[in-house]
């Protein structure tokens, strides 16, 4: 069992953690075209920004290793828990634990289940993913027996150590069986990723043919743009389907391993409808890393069981059980509350540093005057020509940032965009010591044309400029320009790894343009590349999507290392989850940071500038501190 002693206590059972209002992401204008029509940088797809006093979810059950946890409450406020028992000890039947306060647990051993074909204490009866449901005085255990038959066993909630009478086989070849009992006493059997069937009174027989629950297909009448991920229309999740009722809404929850963060994240998804059969809305990610869904009532609302598998490299713990309080987002859907953190990385607990306006692709440089300077893509998805330009911020300590104002506007670019809509993207500012001045690179994306990148130089040697174009037009075709100063000169990196050494005039390249790739010939980040050099080792960073791309994936910072500027670089590895397109830099104390703006559904904030601490340990690794060791 993996345990992490740095876990903090979650003020959960007392429900004292109150979530503040969520920051609105009101874009000032419509997107120029359909490039971002399905982009998730908006509150409706965000999980939630942590509250100032947010704490990591902590285990409230750790009596033994357990998976597929199912939790229920009794009428007197007590707790009943079961799941797939793992590792050592008894592993047959359905083990039960109870608690009066959610702190001290009593184990009852395998439940005394009897029924046709079931032999009490038969060690060959290995039940996977059983569930518990309390309905009045009754305690129901739903499970799949060793032959794959779904059954419901019924006993008394007041006597979990007593006998349970099992139904006959209700459904064959079933897994992840659960029971939902509505307010009128009607029972519904659920299994797999969303199968459902109403039960006869007594829960010993189906009352109807099974059906499969999925989002209302009418919601998909409008197709996403070509080349974009399609929203999932065939399911809510792949396993662990369970149902509960919140007011007049029926909520279907199910889990799925999505592959976010380049690890086996098993996330909990939810969808709601007016009846147990729907029609259901689109599925929404409700609790990252939660594992199989189990929803209970706590003081003040609802909570989801948090029971990750050890395959998830960013879960706070594994094979133990915690509870994640839920809240209603501004659009009405359920999601994890702002009072809790569900991811074990320094990123998950951090806050944005500038909230006055939207920002993407932030770039920070430590200037020759000892100040830090910041630029980024503004006005939602970039200023449209002729509006705006590049705005500068300055900081002495990386905490308080003062707005300097616009340091570049569209005039005098030496390029005619005609009637094309042109958006200003990804400005990059860099202090170059050998030239004793600052360089400003930025890209312009034209509809139906593509992107080009310009390079400007401060003629005053000050970050405020004024800036002059190093050429009479754009420097390169492609986007995401990045100046990099090495021992032998100034280089320019752009696109997915193109690099060339700038000439003395900085208006062209000396020698050929090279392509930076890893040992397998692949790019290290398909966009947003940057470079730092630490102790003779080059670190090439870049942005990649993992998981279901823009619908529920993560936009992560990847990196590779090499002792040669031109590589080949090591196979790309995860550097900063949710980091995406940003800039790595060293502060005045020699500590390293990565800029981040929040571009995916599980990032802790959306389209705002923030900083993530990164550790550069051995000569070839970048890592983000875990949540208990993050520095300020």
The yes-or-no verdict on residue 179 having pLDDT over 90 is: yes
Average pLDDT, integer, range 176-201:
98
pLDDT at 272 over 60: yes
Per-residue confidence (pLDDT) for residue 120, from 0 to 100: 82
What is the predicted pLDDT for the residue at 419? Answer: 87
User: Scanning the structure block, which residue is given the tokens 């993992």?
Assistant: 546
pLDDT at 533 over 60: yes
Q: Looking at the whole model, is its pTM more than 0.85?
A: yes
More confident residue, 478 or 37: 478
> Which carries the bigger pLDDT value, residue 304 or residue 126?
304
**For residue 576, which phi and psi values (nearest 5 degrees)?**
-130, 110
Rounded CA-CA distance 480/530 in Å is 9
Mean pLDDT of 365-370: 98
580 alpha carbon, distance to own chain's centre: 12
Positive or negative, the CA dihedral 290, 295, 298, 301 is: positive
pLDDT-derived band at 40 (thresholds 50, 70, 90) equals very low
Cis amide leading into 279 (omega within 30):
yes
Task: Return the CA Rg of the chain.
Answer: 27
Question: Nearest Cα to 552, choosing from 213, 304, 229, 251?
Answer: 229
Q: Tell me how long the chain is.
A: 632
Between strands 112-114 and 163-166, the pairing is parallel
Contact between 189 and 150 (Cβ < 8 Å): yes
Q: Rounded CA gap, 131 and 191, in Å? A: 11
pLDDT tens per residue across span 559-572: 999 999 999 999 99
d(CA 212, CA 210): 7
pLDDT of 202 above 60: yes
Residue 27 is given by DSSP the state -
At residue 267, the 3 state secondary structure works out as strand
518 has which bridge partners? Answer: 569
Tens of pLDDT along 220-245? 887 665 656 678 899 999 999 999 99
Q: Reduced to 3 states, what is the DSSP secondary structure of residue 627?
A: helix
Q: In the sheet that 249-257 helps form, which strands lie side by side, from edge to edge?
A: 239-246, 249-257, 266-273, 284-287
What is the C-alpha separation between 264 and 257, in angstroms, rounded? 6
Pick the range with the lowest mean pLDDT from 37-41, 78-82, 137-141. Answer: 37-41
pLDDT value of residue 229? 65
The confidence score (pLDDT) of residue 109 equals 93
Q: What is the pLDDT, as a whole number, of residue 31?
A: 36
The band of 629, judged by pLDDT with boundaries at 50, 70 and 90, is: low
The reported pLDDT for the residue numbered 90 is: 79
Res. 10: pLDDT tops 80 = no
CA distances from 261 to 232, 268, 552, 574, 600 (A): 19, 15, 11, 8, 11
Q: Which residue has 């400029």 as its token pair?
A: 465
Under the banding of pLDDT at 50, 70 and 90, the label for residue 26 is very low
Query: pLDDT-based confidence at 7, cuts 50/70/90?
Result: very low
281 pLDDT higher than 70: yes
Identify the pLDDT of residue 42.
40
**pLDDT, mean over the chain:** 89
pLDDT tens for each residue of 447-492: 888 999 999 999 999 999 999 999 999 999 999 999 999 999 999 9
Averaged pLDDT for residues 343-352: 91
pLDDT over 90 at 548, yes or no: no
- How much is the pLDDT for 300? 82
Q: What is the pLDDT of residue 228?
A: 61
For residue 245, the tally of other CB atoms under 10 A from its CB is: 14
Q: And the tokens for 21?
A: 């209002």
Residue 16 has pLDDT above 60, yes or no: no
What pLDDT is recorded for position 176? 96
pLDDT-based confidence at 59, cuts 50/70/90?
very high
- Which of the two residues, 321 and 146, has the higher pLDDT score? 321
The whole-angstrom separation of Cα 449 and Cα 423 is 12
């Amino acid at each position: 069992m993996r345990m992490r002693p740095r876990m903090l206590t979650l003020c959960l059972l007392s429900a004292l953690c109150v979530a503040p209002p969520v920051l609105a992401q009101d874009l000032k204008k419509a997107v120029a075209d359909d490039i971002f029509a399905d982009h998730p940088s908006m509150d409706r797809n965000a999980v939630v920004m942590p509250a100032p006093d947010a704490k990591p979810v902590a285990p409230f059950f750790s009596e033994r290793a357990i998976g597929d946890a199912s939790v229920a409450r009794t009428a007197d406020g007590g707790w009943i828990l079961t799941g797939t028992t793992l590792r050592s000890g008894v592993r047959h039947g359905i083990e039960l634990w109870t608690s009066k306060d959610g702190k001290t647990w009593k184990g009852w051993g395998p439940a005394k289940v009897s029924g046709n074909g079931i032999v009490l204490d038969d060690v060959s009866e290995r039940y996977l993913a059983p569930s518990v449901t309390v309905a009045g005085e009754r305690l129901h255990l739903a499970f799949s027996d060793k032959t794959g038959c779904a059954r419901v066993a019924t006993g008394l909630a007041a006597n979990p150590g007593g006998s349970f009478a099992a139904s006959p086989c209700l459904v064959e070849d079933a897994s992840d069986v659960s029971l939902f009992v509505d307010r009128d006493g009607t029972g519904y059997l659920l299994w797999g990723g969303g199968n459902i069937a109403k039960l006869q009174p007594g829960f010993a027989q189906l009352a109807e043919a099974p059906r499969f629950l999925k989002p209302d297909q009418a919601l998909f009448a409008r197709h996403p743009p070509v080349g974009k991920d399609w929203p999932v229309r065939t399911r809510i999740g792949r396993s662990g389907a369970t149902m509960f009722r919140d007011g007049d809404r029926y909520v279907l929850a199910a889990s799925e391993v999505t592959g976010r963060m380049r690890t086996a994240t098993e996330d909990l998804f939810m969808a709601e409808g007016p009846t147990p059969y729907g029609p259901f809305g689109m599925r929404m990610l409700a609790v990252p890393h939660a594992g199989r869904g189990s929803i209970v009532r706590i003081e003040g609302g609802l909570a989801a069981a948090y029971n990750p598998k050890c395959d998830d490299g960013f879960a706070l713990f594994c094979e133990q059980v915690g509870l994640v309080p839920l809240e209603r987002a501004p659009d009405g859907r359920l999601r994890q509350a702002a009072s809790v953190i569900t991811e074990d990385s320094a990123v998950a607990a951090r806050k944005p540093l500038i909230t006055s306006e939207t920002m993407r692709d932030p770039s920070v440089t430590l200037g020759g005057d000892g100040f830090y300077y910041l630029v980024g893509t503004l006005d939602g998805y970039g200023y449209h020509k002729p509006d705006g330009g590049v705005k500068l911020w300055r900081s002495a300590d990386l905490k308080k940032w003062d707005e300097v104002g616009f340091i570049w506007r569209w005039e005098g670019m030496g390029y005619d965009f005609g009637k094309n809509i042109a958006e200003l993207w990804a400005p990059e500012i860099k202090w170059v010591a050998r030239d004793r001045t600052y360089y400003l690179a930025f890209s312009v994306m034209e509809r139906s044309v593509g992107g080009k990148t310009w390079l400007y130089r401060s003629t005053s040697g000050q970050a405020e400029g004024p800036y002059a174009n190093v050429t009479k037009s754009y420097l390169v075709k492609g986007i995401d320009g990045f100046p990099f100063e090495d021992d032998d000169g100034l280089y320019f990196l752009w696109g997915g790894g193109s690099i060339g050494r700038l000439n003395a005039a900085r208006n062209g390249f000396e020698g050929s343009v090279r392509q930076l790739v890893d040992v397998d010939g692949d790019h290290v980040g398909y966009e947003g590349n940057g470079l730092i050099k630490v102790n003779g080792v080059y670190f090439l960073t870049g942005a990649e999507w993992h998981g279901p791309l823009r619908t529920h994936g993560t936009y992560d910072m990847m990196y590779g290392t090499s002792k040669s500027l031109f590589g080949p670089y090591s196979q790309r590895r995860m550097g900063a989850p949710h980091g995406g397109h940003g800039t790595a830099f060293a502060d005045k104390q020699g500590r390293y940071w990565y800029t981040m703006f929040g571009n995916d559904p599980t990032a802790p904030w959306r389209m705002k500038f923030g900083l993530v601490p990164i550790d550069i340990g051995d000569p070839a690794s970048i890592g983000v501190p875990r949540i208990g060791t993050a520095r300020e």
